[in-house]
Every structure is written in structure tokens, then in C-alpha cells.
Structure 1
Amino acid sequence: MGLRLKFNLVLLVVFLAGFAVTGYVSRSLLDRHARAQVLGEARLVLEAALAIRSYTVERVRPHLIGQLDRQFLPQTVPAFAATETLNELRKKYPNYAYKEATLNPTNLRDRPADWEADLIHNFRNHATDTEVSGQRDTPVGPLLYIAHPIRIESPACLQCHSTPDAAPPSMLRIYGSANGFGWNLNEVVGAQVVSVPMSVPLENAAQAFRTFMISLAAVFVMVFVVLNLLLSWLIIQPVSRMSAAADKISTGDFDQPEFAETGSDEVAVLASSFNRMRRSLEKAMQMIDG
């Protein structure tokens, strides 16, 4: 097995090991970054919903609360305002979903799906949890969701959700008296759930990964070619010439020119040693012939 083949095999093994490790690490980092990006978008949507709820409670509801006895206005309900506003966002971004899923909702559109009900029960069973996130597979691709508990923290909420007798008659005329009641103070009744598609960030991460790995392979090919040229020029060719000269000298042919001894690397030292050996051998042969 020649020196060039041994060198190339070692270089190839090192590259393949480095290529595999680099590919695993870079793909993990890119996927983690894509997930963090989606979580950031989901939190932004959730913060927007919280801002809408706060605005409704502080700026809208006080001006309309006096009309509840005559006419129930859903716009005064923070959950309704946040849901309707973010539904407008879905007209342009249909895969971005916001829902205030409630186990016993006044508005039946807020009834939770099975996986949303599991989130609500998780919040009920783990009172210290303030956020849960995860990933779901859907027909449109993977979706990342983030959820916060809906907890009854204000006694004002119980005006509409304690018993039908305490609720505004105008609300009962719209929603009836069968749903949305029996809530208690500090009870978790639902969850704010934001779902954001992961398909685009994951595809961007995959594209970046492919570009990086192709670039890495191209760099290796260039390094491989350059190293082989340097190996041939600096080591293999000088050693081959010395080997050929040694074969001829071993048969008594001392007409071979001496090798250049310029430089201080190992090949130059070898050339100097070879020249001394050649001169010593030539003198010894002359003494024997004399």
C-alpha cells in the first residue's frame, strides 16, 4: 500500500467522521433554532391576545357595561375580543390559530378538542404550571403549540359564569342557561392555545443544512486536491527520485547527480544524508578498486 493511498485513506476516514459529527450537530442546532423561532412567534401571538384582553377590560368594557341589562354585547368579553381580532389575522395567515378552549364554555365554539382538554386538565392538576408547549402532526404539517391556563382570578367574571340567575338576561337570550356556569374563583376553566406551523421554518432549516453540508463537502474536495498536490510535490516525488537513485547506486552507477539540500525540513535533511551516504559509498568503492 503506497504512501499516497495510506494518506488518502486516513484523510477520508477523518473527513467522514467529521462530516457525520458536524452534520448531526448542525442539524440539531438548526432544528432547535427553528423551534425557538416558532415558539417566539407563538408567544408573540399570545402576548397580542393578552394585550387585546387587557384593552377590552380597561378601555372597552367600562363604556358598554351599562348596556348589558338591555343588550348583551359580546365585544365586552375579553375572550371574545381576542378571538375575533386574531381570527382577522387568520385571513392572511390561515395556519396561525388562537383559541380560548374552555371545558364548559358559554360560546360553544370554544369547546376544546381532545388534545386541548388534556392541556386544561394538565393545568388543573399542576397548579404551578404557567405554560405548556409541544408539537402536533396535522394534515398541513407539524404544528407547534403553546398554551397558558385561563384561571378565574377576578370576582367580576362570576357575574356571568356563577349561576344563570346571576347572569345578565341579555346574555341568556343569546347563549342560553345550559353552558358556561358553575365556575369558581381561582379555578382553571380553560387554556389559551396558540398553534403555529413549523413547515416553513423546518424547510428553511433543511435548506440551510443542505447548503452547509454541500459547502463543507466542496471545501473537503478542494483541501483533498491541494493536499494531494502538496504531498506529491513535497514528499512523494523527492522520495521516488531518491529511491530510483538508490537502486542505480546499488548497482555501481555513481553518475547520479546529488540532490539539492536547500531548506531545513525532513526531506532536505534526508537529501543531505543521502548525498553523504552516496559520497561515502563511492569513496569506499574507489578504495576497494584501488
Structure 2
Amino acid sequence: MSIRIRFIVIIGILSLVASVVLAYASYQFSVKNAMADAKKQGAIVFNMIHSSRMYFKKYQRPLVAELVEEDRFYPEIMSGFVLTRGVWEIFEKRFPGYKFKQATLDPLYPPNKADVEETKIIARFEENREMKDLAGKIMKNGKQFYYFAKPVHVEDKCLRCHGTPEDAPKDQVEIYGTESGYGWRNGQVVSTAIVYVPLDAAMVAAKKAATTLFVMGSAGILLLMAVIWFFLSSGVVTPLAKLEEKTRQISLGKDLDEDIGVHRKDEIGDLAKAIDRLRISTAKLLKRCSGK
């Protein structure tokens, strides 16, 4: 293998490795930024939901309790869960892709039933009741999400509706039945309010950016190799080949009166001068020998 080819191969391999490393670093950086952005969005959305819930608990619920008979139950104005769900349904129409769920182990409202992953999250909150929140990546229905979850602790006020069916408002029992949503205990973590922020678009963008960077890097490598090949050929290989041919002719005693023809101020020029001195010395030596 010629020096030129070996040099190009080495440069190509090193450049390719550099492009792969750069593309991977770009992908990781993009993913990190996407996760940070998703975390920020999740916190904003969750705080919006939480604020509406706190307003309901602080101002609306006490007023409604004074105006509505004890056994009456109007979910839209008396249930924090229903209120939050209604607020989210309006929000979701304007921002599709985001998801919110009041995942509950034993809910009155069946769609709130926690799935396997949500059950694990609730279990972690129950095991460590001092834990304020959980966050991370999760797959749901083949799509990737960033989730932000907070525990829902049972309070005394919750037991009016979720203690026993006998103590619950009659309207509630008529609406939801008595099969689930009861038997809660004060202080227990039975639910988690969880926001899902879609990540698929961000992940695709990260992969696209990394791929684009790799393709551009590869194109740059090819261009660099072409430039190096051209300069090696014109500046190194061709002059060396010419010097090699001149040296071979000198060794055969031919063209001793012709100049080497390579005049440069670099290492190859120095080599050409040395070969030219060899030509002159050989010519003088042959003349002496022929004179004898």
C-alpha cells in the first residue's frame, strides 16, 4: 500500500471517528435539552392544575358546602377530581399531546384507574410519604413521555365521599355505585396527579440533528480527503516519482547531463539537490574513468 493511500486511510478513519463522536455528543446534548424543556413544561402544566385545585379547595368547596344539602352531590362543583378533569379537558383541546391523569388505585371514576406503571409510582409514594414528587421518562402506548407526578394524600375531608358507601352522599352512590372508590384511610397515598409531556417529537429532532451533523461531517471528510489526495499527488507523490525515475536513470548512467528538474524550498527540494549532486558526481566519475 502506498504512503498516499495509507495516509488517506488514517486521516479518513480518524475523521470518521471524530464525526461519530461529535454526532453522538450532539444527540446526547439535544436529548438533555429536550428533557430539561419537558421538565419545565411539565412543572408549568402541573402548577396550573394544582392552582385551580387549591382555589377550589380554599374558596369554592366551603361555599358550596354551605349552599348544598348534606346528602346532595353535584360532581362538577363538589369534587376536586371532577373539577381537575374538566379543567384538563379544556386545556387538552388547545394543547393536544399532553396528558393528565389522576391515577388512582381504587377510583370512583373508572377511567382514573391506575395502570401498571402508575401503580408502581403510587407504591413508591406510599413507601416514602415524605417524597414530594417523581419524574422521568416512560413509554405509554408505544409513545415516549416525560412524566411529572405528585402524591395525593387522603385527608379527613376526603373520607366524606371515600370512607364508606353508607356515609357518602346519596347522589354520589347513585352516580358511581358502591363497588369502588371507598375504604380510603386518612394519610394513605391512594392516587397520584401525573402530567405526561410528549417526547417523541423532541427525540426525532435530536436524532435528525445528530444525523445531519454526521452527514455534514462525512461530506466534510470526503472533501478533506479529496483535497489531501490532490495535494499529496501534486506536491509529494508526483515529485517523488520524478526523483525516483531520475535516480534510476543516474544509476544506469543515463541523462547525466540533464538537470533534475525539481526546484523547491522544502524537504523534497533538499532531496532533489542531493540527487542532483549525485548526478554531477556520477558524471565526473564516469568522465575520469573514460579518460583512463
Deviation at 1:55, TM superposition (A): 2.5
Could you tell me which residue of structure 2 aligns to residue 146 of structure 1?
Answer: 148
Q: What is the Cα deviation at residue 76 of structure 1? A: 4.2
Question: Structure 1-normalised TM-score?
Answer: 0.83
Q: Specify which structure has the bigger relative contact order, considering alpha-carbon pairs within 8 angstroms and separated by 6 or more residues.
A: 2
Q: Could you tell me how far apart the structure 1 residues matched to 2:58 and 2:34 are?
A: 36
Structure 1 unaligned regions, length at least 5: none
Residues 244 and 77 from structure 1, CA distance in 2 versus in 1: closer, same or farther, beyond 3 angstroms? same
In structure 1, the partner of 2:202 is: 201
Q: For residues 161 and 109 of structure 2, what CA distance do their matches in structure 1 show?
A: 12
Give the TM-score normalised by structure 2.
Answer: 0.83
Matches within 5 A, 1:1-290: 1-69=1-69, 71-74=72-75, 75-129=77-131, 130-138=133-141, 141-152=143-154, 154-164=155-165, 167-168=168-169, 171-172=172-173, 174-175=175-176, 179-252=180-253, 253-263=255-265, 265-290=266-291
* Paired residues of 2:108 and 2:180 also in contact (CA < 8 A): yes
- Structure 2 CA distance for aligned equivalents of residues 169 and 216 of structure 1: 70
Identity of paired residues, percent? 25
User: Greater CA deviation, 162-171 or 268-277?
Assistant: 162-171
1:235 Cα deviation from its structure 2 partner: 0.9
Mapped to 1, the partners of 2:225 and 2:13 lie a distance apart of 12
Structure 2 unaligned residues grouped into runs of 5+: none
**In terms of mean alpha carbon deviation, does 168-177 or 9-18 score higher?**
168-177
Contact in 1 for aligned 2:26/2:209 (Cα 8 Å): no
What SS does the corresponding residue of 1:196 show, helix, strand or coil?
strand
Q: Distance in 2 between matches of 1:266 and 1:166?
A: 100
Cα distance in 2 for partners of 1:273, 1:41 equals: 73
Cα distance, 1:175 vs structure 2: 4.2
How far off is 1:145 after superposition? 3.1
Q: CA RMSD of the aligned region, Å?
A: 2.9
Contact 2:64 2:78 (C-alpha < 8 Å) held by counterparts: yes
**Equivalents in 1 of 2:110, 2:67: separation in Å?**
23
Question: How far apart, CA to CA, are the structure 1 residues paired with 2:17 and 2:80?
Answer: 56
3-state DSSP class of the match of 1:80? helix
TM-superposition CA deviations, 1:36-95 (whole Å, max 9, x none): 444443333222222222232234334433123265343343332222111112224443
